[in-house]
Structure 1
Amino acid sequence: MSAQARRLWVGAGLALVLLVLVLWNLPVVRIALSFGAAPEIEADVCVVAPPTPYNPASGLPLQAARPVPADVRCPVCGMYPARSPDWAAQVIFANGDAQFFDSPLSLFMYLGDVARYSPGRSADEIVAHYVTDVPSRSWVDARSAFYVTGSTAKGPMRAGNLPAFASQDAARQFAAQRGGKVLAYADVDAGLVAQLGGQGVHAH
């Protein structure tokens, strides 16, 4: 091969390299060429949902239930409880901090492992538990409420999220219409919570 021919080949090669570099910097080309590449997987993506401090200006007692702020997120699933007011729940800590949940199920999951969802906290610090009474849409003590499991009602996570009732009669009427079984607070055990939690996307 003559020197002139070699120079032509080298020049053509350099031109090809430059063309590839130019094309690679065009977003549409990079997306097309990278489409089949394996996506990067984050090891553990969690939503950090800090507690909401007590606001003395609210005029509410320290341990009273409060309205759900629009911007707070559930520490269990990351959803916004204010968007599902019929299902919302909350706990109050001894210092007045509140943690809000998208459903009674998320509340029970939280109580089963407080340190996991609120590092540095413990269940012993919780002084009040509230769930939303389905008929009245008002707050009721979660420990005196009744819950229906196995009904056709689907909560925020599209799973059986244990609708809550202030009275056993109301819970029974609901179960008669929508199916399911009525449970007292003490009857909602860890096994049931784990089963229901696996039906939605509550994994954290």
Structure 2
Amino acid sequence: MKKNLSLLMFLFALMFTNLNAGEMYQTVEAKDATLVKTNSSKEFCDVCGMPLTKFYKTNHVTEFKNGHKEQYCSLHCQAEIHEDYHDKIKNIQVVDTNSLKLIDATKAFYVVGSSKPGTMSPVSKYAFSTKEAAIKFQKDFGGEIHSFEESLKIAKEGLNKDNKSLEEKRIPIAKKGKKIFESLCNQIELKEFNSIGEAKQYLIDNNVCKNLDSQMLQSVSIYLYDPMLAVDKSKMIKVPEDAKCPVCGMFVSKFPKWVAQIQLKDGHNHYFDGVKDMMKFYFNPSKYEHTHTKDDISQINATDYYTLELIDAKKAYYVIGSNIYGPMGEELIPFKNKDEAQKFMTDHFGKSLVSFDEIKEEMLK
């Protein structure tokens, strides 16, 4: 175990070299940074979980109308939350690149696309309290001068491209995070999170993991936020993007952790956003405008809750009535292994554990 953990720590050191490099332009000493949050994760970005002092020169602070404050490492992360919460925001501040003080973002002058490194995006965005300071920075490092609104728009337009690049970089980190989580963390505490920062705060507040350094904690947080990054997708049920659940009409590809599948002998496939809908269809296909019978079925598949891999639904075990919900609410949660199903039922207050043949139509109500 010690040998494996030492290897993991070495690998993390390699992957995060750029974070620890002293020459990082965005980095400041802790004494020079203003951190406004009061919770346990005050040192980390609320969206991506990255250390705020490492990227301090691009920090943004949002104060909401209810008085709550959050701090982000970049305009990229600020843009992530702005679309959904703009009507709840009271004001936004940004770090002045020169003085390192927080200033009103709406009055700042941003230099976008300079030769200095970007944070969470290849397109850098640095703010200044005066136009003269922005022009001087522009002369030295290039870029274009924009207002906050213009810079925010640029950040929003680049989110999809930036996030795709970030996701690719996070895949090996999430895989290491999965190994650490399984060996050093209390898996009873596993839940779903809205951001990496939220996952990190949960890990800290609930003391879920033991003896993790900051890099290992970040890796576990990335894994918990998006377990799909650590999954071997070749072992998952492959769902066409346009496939709709014949029971509820939802696009199934949006819910890869819950996919179930009925394969017919004629080669047609039905996809479902959970075992519950699949079983509704299985018991009564004519209700959903299909005329085939159970004899027409060649294979039934489900997604194992823990590994997210395709499993034979007829050989799986299902927990009913737990406190974990799927896209359609209360779910029949599938497991390849009976022992894991029983442990899950205990940890998540499941009401019953059944095999495929024990599932009755009345259970689906």
TM-score > 0.5, shorter chain as reference: yes
Give the root-mean-square deviation of aligned CA atoms. Answer: 1.9
Instruction: Measure, in 1, the Cα distance between the counterparts of 2:354 and 2:252.
Output: 23
Q: Secondary structure at the match of 1:192?
A: helix
* CA displacement, residues 46-98 of structure 1 (integer Å, 9 cap, x when unaligned): xxxxxxxxxxxxxxxxxx98501111100000011111111110011001110
Q: With CA pairs under 8 Å and 6+ residues apart, which has the higher RCO, 1 or 2?
A: 1
Shift of 1:173: 1.2
Q: Does 117-126 or 70-79 show the bigger shift?
A: 117-126
Q: Is the 8 A contact 2:237 2:309 kept in 1?
A: no
CA 1:151/1:66 → structure 2, altered by over 3 Å: closer, same or farther?
Answer: closer
Within the alignment, does 1:185 sit opposite 2:356 as a pair? Answer: yes
Instruction: Measure, in 2, the Cα distance between the counterparts of 1:161 and 1:106.
Output: 9
Within the alignment, does 1:125 sit opposite 2:296 as a pair? Answer: yes
Q: Is the 8 A contact 2:236 2:303 kept in 1?
A: no
Aligned to 2:274: 103
CA 1:183/1:120 → structure 2, altered by over 3 Å: closer, same or farther?
Answer: closer
Shift of 1:116: 2.4
Shift of 1:123: 2.2
* Letter of the 1:89 counterpart: A
Instruction: Select the residue among 328, 334, 351 that pairs with 1:164.
Output: 334
Instruction: Measure, in 1, the Cα distance between the counterparts of 2:320 and 2:360.
Output: 12
Tell me the matched-pair count: 131
CA 1:120/1:150 → structure 2, altered by over 3 Å: closer, same or farther?
Answer: closer
Instruction: Measure, in 1, the Cα distance between the counterparts of 2:283 and 2:310.
Output: 21
Query: Radius of gyration: which is bigger?
Result: 1
Aligned to 1:147: 318
CA 1:167/1:112 → structure 2, altered by over 3 Å: closer, same or farther?
Answer: same
Structure holding more helix per residue: 2
Shift of 1:119: 2.5
Alignment of 1:1-204 (within 5 A): 66-157=237-328, 159-180=329-350, 181-193=352-364, 195=365
Q: Is the 8 A contact 1:146 1:185 kept in 2?
A: yes
Q: Secondary structure at the match of 2:354?
A: strand
Aligned to 2:98: none
CA 1:118/1:94 → structure 2, altered by over 3 Å: closer, same or farther?
Answer: farther
Shift of 1:114: 1.5
Displaced runs of 4 or more, over 3 A: none
- TM-score, normalised via structure 1 length: 0.61
Unaligned stretches of 5+ in structure 1? Answer: 1-63, 196-204
Instruction: Measure, in 1, the Cα distance between the counterparts of 2:244 and 2:306.
Output: 24
* Letter of the 2:338 counterpart: Q
Q: Is the 8 A contact 1:114 1:123 kept in 2?
A: no
Unaligned stretches of 5+ in structure 2? Answer: 1-234
Instruction: Measure, in 2, the Cα distance between the counterparts of 1:88 and 1:66.
Output: 7
* CA displacement, residues 162-183 of structure 1 (integer Å, 9 cap, x when unaligned): 1100011110111111111211
* CA displacement, residues 141-190 of structure 1 (integer Å, 9 cap, x when unaligned): 11110001110011101x21111000111101111111112111112111
Q: Is the 8 A contact 1:65 1:130 kept in 2?
A: no
Structure holding more strand per residue: 2
Q: Secondary structure at the match of 1:136?
A: coil
Q: Secondary structure at the match of 2:323?
A: coil
Instruction: Measure, in 2, the Cα distance between the counterparts of 1:150 and 1:113.
Output: 22
Q: Is the 8 A contact 1:115 1:122 kept in 2?
A: no
Instruction: Measure, in 2, the Cα distance between the counterparts of 1:163 and 1:128.
Output: 19
Q: Is the 8 A contact 2:236 2:308 kept in 1?
A: no
